[in-house]
Amino acid sequence: MNKPILPLIVEPKELTHLLGTDQILLVDLSNPQTYVQQHLPGAVYLEYNWIVHSEKPRNGLLPNVAQLGRVLGSLGLTPDTHVVTYDDEGGGRASRFLWTLACVGHTKVSLLNGGLHAWTDKGRPLSQKILYPTPGEYTAQLVNAPIADKQFILDHLNDDNVVVLDVRSPQEYSGAKVFAQKGGHIPGAVNMEWTEAMDQDRQLRLKSAEQISALLDARGVSPEKTIVVYCQTHHRSAHTFVVLKSLGYEKVKGYPGSWSDWGNDSNTPVET
């Protein structure tokens, strides 16, 4: 299989020459109103709710493989398609799509650095043309490597080779803000809010690799360890998953359901 034609984190300038070509599938996960008003030329729209599953009060779960196959097939995706994705909120939704693709072994993927905010900053072209992809068949098969479920975390709570990274706000981490039956965090988890990786002065692009690595190092998050990322539903932490992958962290797992799963289970331990 050919190597990806773009890096995992792609700059707006790098993407410009590929717009309108059949070399990429450009997928927009912005709010639907935003897509109707403006989007990158050639982008197709993907509704975020199609790539997540809810079993109240647990949200942000991974859909079954049949549902994933239908969604990916509806986009006209094939195993050789290079997917470039973005959104209008800093990359959380787009990154959840990339994590989902990782869960079915699709590796030809890129995240537009800064998303729609960075694209529009320099007056780059935009479109209002609604595009409808030609659907096809996509046989999804689950790959477990990018996934950490509740049992995996319980089994590794005292494992020095596993770091649990909570990317919610400090208030959620401490239990001051509670969005489940229980507040607090997974025992032993370290906290780095997902937005700390973003440069607010550069349209939500990522900070430099050196800056992000320093933030991670300070929390004991090192490349040789297995890193489990979580937030409330694995929306924000999907972005952190992609950031870690872009920095060369190989053993990264996302926790689908995240705190909505852990914090709503009366049997799970918590720290505050």
The H-or-E segment that residue 111 falls in is: strand 109-112
Query: Any idea which residue has 């409330």 for tokens?
Result: 232
Cβ atoms of 149 and 157 closer than 8 Å: no
DSSP SS3 for 139: coil
What one-character-per-residue DSSP string does 173-230 give? Answer: HHTSS-SSSS-SB-TT-EE--GGGGEEGGGTTEEPPHHHHHHHHHTTT--TTSEEEEE
- Is 103 designated active site? no
- For residue 159, what are the contacts with CB-CB under 8 A and spacing of at least 6? none
DSSP SS3 for 124: coil
The H-or-E segment that residue 13 falls in is: helix 12-16
Considering the candidates 24, 26, 162, 231, report the single residue annotated as catalytic.
Answer: 231
Q: How far is the C-alpha of 214 from the C-alpha of 129, rounded, in Å?
A: 42
User: How crowded is residue 138: how many other Cβ atoms within 10 Å of its Cβ?
Assistant: 20
Residues 101-132 as b or e (16 or more Cβ within 10 Å = b): bbbbebebbbbbbbbbbbbbeeeeeeeeeeee
The two beta strands, 162-166 and 226-230, are: parallel
Catalytic residue numbers read: 231
